[in-house]
């Protein structure tokens, strides 16, 4: 496992691409306020097309076009919105700033009230870009990328699921229970944590494999180096369901496999320089209290 600190900066800070939390038409006033804050700092704003339609704004642009024309993206909502934006923009290698309007705010650390001051720091290069490991998964003809986790789950509530896990074609464990979570370090504080998995520092490169309600008490979470390619074989006649970041779902038939490896590049999140991961743990998760 390796831990790296990035000193990368944005090449330009001329154009920001904004994405609003879905199904939230009440965010129109918030969007106007955020747009004015960026324009005051001479930063042009592009609004993603579906976000524009949601608030009745006519001048929206396609997401792909926005990624190509923006210097960075701004996710406005909660952690789920940021994860979606990071996944959708992944191939464009563009940093994402999260503005927190949700409940937990574990990944989105800038509030609406703090945004104007942070924009000034952005212009003065007083920020940092964190590089977060992504997972590449493939099953059948589908290829997908996960920011938090990939969950292999049973299809029927009345049946347990068997998953045979292999590294380099060699079996290292057979899991039997409700399912399996394969998490990134960033996702270690999500579903993985609620299932009893470990918290892993988010700039680490590693897989966390955590069984969900295992049938055997000997099954425990496992941390594996990110340079492994892991194969999860499904022998069950019912097959399985693969859930990517809680947002996309794929069905896996009997005797098929899900192959997992580290993605060839990382997601980029813009944060305050003073942001401290362990302070976030203490504040958001009552860490150490």
Residues designated catalytic: 79
Nearest to 268 by CA among 101, 127, 77, 136: 127
Angle value at C-alpha 210, between 242 and 184, nearest 5 degrees: 75
Q: How many residues does the chain have?
A: 289
Q: Which residue has the tokens 């941390």?
A: 223
CA distances to 50, 53, 65, 90 from 62, in Å: 8, 11, 5, 16
SS (HEC) of 84-97: HHHHHCHHHCCCEE
Instruction: Give the side-chain half-sphere CA count within 13 A for 184.
Output: 25
Tell me the H-state helices in the chain. Answer: 28-40, 49-54, 63-69, 79-88, 115-123, 191-194, 277-285
First vs last C-alpha separation in the chain = 29
Please tell me what DSSP assigns to residue 3.
B
């Amino acid at each position: 496992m390796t831990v790296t600190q990035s000193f990368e900066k944005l090449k330009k800070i001329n154009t920001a691409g904004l994405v609003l939390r879905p199904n939230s038409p009440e965010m129109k006033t918030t969007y106007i306020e955020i747009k004015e804050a960026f324009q005051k700092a001479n930063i042009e704003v592009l609004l993603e097309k579906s976000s524009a339609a949601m608030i009745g704004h006519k001048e929206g642009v396609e997401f792909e076009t926005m990624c190509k024309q923006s210097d960075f993206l701004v996710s406005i909502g909660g952690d789920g919105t940021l994860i979606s934006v990071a996944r959708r923009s992944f191939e464009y290698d563009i940093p994402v700033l999260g503005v927190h309007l949700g409940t937990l705010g574990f990944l989105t650390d800038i509030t609406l009230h703090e945004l104007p001051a942070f924009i000034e720091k952005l212009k003065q290069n007083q920020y940092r870009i964190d590089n977060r490991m992504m997972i590449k998964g493939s099953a059948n003809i589908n290829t997908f990328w996960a920011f938090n986790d990939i969950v292999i789950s049973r299809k029927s509530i009345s049946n347990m699921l068997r998953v045979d896990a292999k590294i380099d074609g060699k079996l290292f464990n057979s899991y039997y229970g409700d399912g399996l979570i394969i998490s990134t370090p960033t996702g270690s504080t999500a579903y993985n944590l609620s299932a009893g998995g470990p918290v892993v520092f988010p700039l680490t490169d590693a897989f966390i494999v955590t069984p969900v309600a295992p049938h055997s008490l000997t099954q425990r979470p496992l941390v594996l180096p990110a340079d492994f390619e892991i194969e999860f074989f499904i022998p069950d006649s019912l097959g399985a369901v693969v859930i990517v970041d809680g947002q996309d779902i794929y069905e896996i038939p009997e005797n098929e496999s899900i192959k997992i490896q580290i993605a060839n590049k990382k997601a980029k999140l813009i944060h305050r320089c003073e942001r401290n991961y362990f302070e976030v743990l203490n504040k958001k998760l009552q860490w150490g209290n």
